[in-house]
Structure 1
Amino acid sequence: MYIKTIEPDDASGEIAALYDAERASMGQVMEATQCWSARPDIIVPIENLLHQIRDEFSLGLLNFRLITFVAARFVPSSYCSHVYFRALSSMIGRDETLAVHRDYRNAGLSEQQVEMLAYAEQISRDASKITETDIKRLRDVGFSDLNIADIALAASFRNFMSRYFDAVGATVEAEFLDADPEIRQELAVGRK
């Protein structure tokens, strides 16, 4: 990490509680969490926003993770690609997740999921180019305005988070790296 952060053993108050919760659920405090502690006034609101977007996501956890994984590829963020490859693999399988990474349009997803991920890709590449036609395409496959807003929030939030992680030098933890060096290389879409 490029910046000084609050180490888990030095944390107190709300940050210690947040770190303890992450240790309980993940077995460690991830650099992605710790890097926010350089701004102690922001770490808890950022974590709360992540949980509010993810836990209340109108399209379910699987679609949230699909969006996050695809957005990470186009940010590009190696950190988030590795972490969400692992998370998504546990839900749909390693081979299926690799197929999504390589070409979500031909990965056996539903038409609705493909349109959702195309929108997430567009947000990550250049949201200024999104038009009413893009939104109409989402509505045409059955998405409500709430769903569209949630897709935009998930993709935009991942862009924000991933860019911050790279900007402060967060590095992916070893347990999120695939055992196959070729797959690790493939998922290293940004910083190596």
Structure 2
Amino acid sequence: MIITVPTLAEVTGHAADMYASDMSDDGFVHTYTQAMAINPEAHHAFESLIRALVPSLGVRNYEAATLGAARAIGSAHCLLAHGRKSVNAGLTDAAGLRGFAHDDDSAFTDAERAIMRFAAKLSSAPTTMTDADSAELRTHGFSDRQIVDITLAASARNFFSRALLALVVPVDDMPGLDPDAAEALRARAVR
């Protein structure tokens, strides 16, 4: 990574909170946190956006949008981090994550799979999207607000994942994530 990231002793304000959260949760500061701490105001704005989306979607649907986008982008950072969050939120388990890494989404509900397809298409071929893509979400009972928020969640993942990829931020191990699932997700990211 060509950028110089701030040290634990150098961070203040929101950046210090970012570092403290990682230290509390995992015992170290993730490289993606260090990279985003260079512009803590942008990171805070990103977090505010996510906080505005989750109430209408719920954590499971937010994570489904995030995983669908991260898999389409090939972001190991986000696959690992949100793989762990998805297990913790009860969206899936380690076996479901291993399947997900190999395009087997059977561990997810029909609605979650629809969200993941929508997020993947937004992430890989956004100019080909039509009303039919949103209509599929509607058939699963999602409201206008939820369809917009699914779109924003996938778009936000594109912002964050692509920034990390562009900056060539090293990928950390993800504590608390099943090692076989982590390996499968890492392998998926480099396809």
With the length of structure 2 as denominator, give the TM-score of the two structures. Answer: 0.84
Aligned counterpart, 2:2: 2
Aligned counterpart, 2:174: 175
Matches within 5 A, 1:14-163: 14-54=14-54, 56=55, 58-90=56-88, 91=90, 92-105=92-105, 107-163=106-162
The answer as to whether partners of 1:104 and 1:114 remain within 8 angstroms in 2 is: no
Q: Which amino acid in the other structure matches residue 42 of structure 1? A: A
Moved over 4 A (4+): none
Question: Cα RMSD over matched residues?
Answer: 2.5
The structure-2 alpha-carbon separation of the partners of 1:36 and 1:183, relative to structure 1 and needing over 3 Å to count, comes to: closer
Give the distance between the partners of 1:160 and 1:13, measured in 2 at CA.
23
| Deviation for aligned residue 1:52 | 3.3
Give the distance between the partners of 1:50 and 1:19, measured in 2 at CA.
19
| Deviation for aligned residue 1:124 | 1.0
1:38 counterpart SS class: coil
Q: Which amino acid in the other structure matches residue 172 of structure 2? A: E
Structure 1: which 5+ residue stretches go unaligned?
Answer: none
The answer as to whether partners of 2:75 and 2:165 remain within 8 angstroms in 1 is: yes
Structure 2: which 5+ residue stretches go unaligned?
Answer: none
The structure-2 alpha-carbon separation of the partners of 1:117 and 1:179, relative to structure 1 and needing over 3 Å to count, comes to: closer
The answer as to whether partners of 2:46 and 2:156 remain within 8 angstroms in 1 is: no
User: What is the percent sequence identity of the aligned residues?
Assistant: 28
Structure with the larger helix share: 1
Deviations 1:65-101 (A, max 9, x none): 1221221111111221122222223332100222233
- Bigger drift between 43-52 and 67-76 goes to 43-52
2:179 counterpart SS class: coil
2:74 counterpart SS class: coil
Aligned counterpart, 1:188: 187
